[in-house]
Structure 1
Amino acid sequence: MGKIQTPPTPISTPRLEFENQKTRLGIQLDFERNQLREDQEKVLMWEQGVRKDEAEIEKLKKEEQRHMKIIDETMAQLQDLKNQHLAKKSEVNDKNHEMDEIRKKLGGANKEMTHLQKEVTAIETKLEQKRSDRHNLLQACKMQDIKLPLSKGTMDDISQEEGSGGGEEAGSGSQRSSSLYAREALIEIDYSDLPEELKVRRPFKAGPAHLPPQATPTSYKAPPIYLPFLWSPYRATLWPLPLLI
């Protein structure tokens, strides 16, 4: 016959339950400790991240302030450039207005110059005609053997060549006439012995070529030059012998 097993006593059952509960609590405690340690590590990591983010934010704020300062300076420079642009634009408009006024004055001056050039050309033409007329009169006197009272020069200085006849010829003929007139310009007629009743005076106004250096063609009024006329016994009229101007 086998050995008869006796049932456990009541004291051993509560102890076993206590041991089991102790084991479960130990396991639970280890789990909680591990969980706490992991949570602490996470909190520490989060705190480090927050501090890093705060440092980054502070850095970005400083960068923002620096950039804002640059933007403010740039905006001030831009405004200054706009003001300078407006000032320069106003100056350009003023200069354009002045240029328009100068162009108008220049146009008027060109017209006045053209008019004066025409007057000078007309006067030069008249002077050339006067020289030609004087040459013809002197030549006629020499050909008709009229002895003229000369204060300078002689009758031999009067050329027998024909003048330009009013400047119509050109080239060598014009140069020859100019040389002829220049030589005859040295001849001066003496009117001192001519009776007063035979003298006829007429005013003659000098042209721009006779103006003094400080005068202008529009401001200077030349004094009248009186040219006497000579009575010719060979003519029934007064014979003018104008001086070479």
Structure 2
Amino acid sequence: MTGLQIRLLAIIALAIGAFFLFDLDQWLTLERFKTEYARLIGYRDAHPVLATLAFAGIYIAVTGLSLPGATVLTLAGGALFGLVWGTLIVSFASSIGATLAFLTARFLFRDAVKSRFGDRLAAIDAGLAKDGPYYLFSLRLVPLFPFFVINLAMGLTEIRTFTFYWVSQLGMLAGTIVYVNAGTQLARIDSLSGILSPPLVGAFVLLGLFPLAARKFVETFPR
């Protein structure tokens, strides 16, 4: 590792360590948000621009550092800003944060992984060069795969940063709308597990598989 990589890794480790050392994760729970909801609404009404920027900044930091709490923040976006503005803010903040995590993994670990698993990584890169956007779009749609794992794993490949960004924003949009909309009905939510019903998860899975299936069909269709 270079000196710059070591310093960046140290800063990230300190930030993550401070997050848990000072129990900041307790602020990103559904119960705590519901408790502080009235106060947050008052602050939003008094300082709408600052509240928006602060919320977006916190969301970007949480997703960029791959910290727990993005789901609660997505619900908070709906509860604080409504469906339209909440979706807009969360969509951009989550995509920017994901891209930061992607770039961090690429900068810190790509060379090390390539030197050790060069042949295997080359095969993955070859597949992504052909189906990368479709594959990433499918992963983003299927809620069974943790988004932070996708961010870090994709950083180890050669997929272009801009492609990662726009495909991620488009692929995460459906799930974002579902959670932001749920956040607009915050009083009815008792747990995070009840937001995605089995039929809805199944629909996302089918929707996620559709781009790859359609591409394969087009490739095998006689011309």
Q: TM-score range by the shorter chain?
A: under 0.3
Task: Tell me: higher relative CO, structure 1 or 2? Use CA pairs within 8 A at least 6 residues apart.
Answer: 2
Q: TM-score, normalised by structure 1?
A: 0.22
Give the number of the structure whose alpha-carbon radius of gyration is greater: 1
TM-score by length of 2: 0.24
More helix by percentage? 2
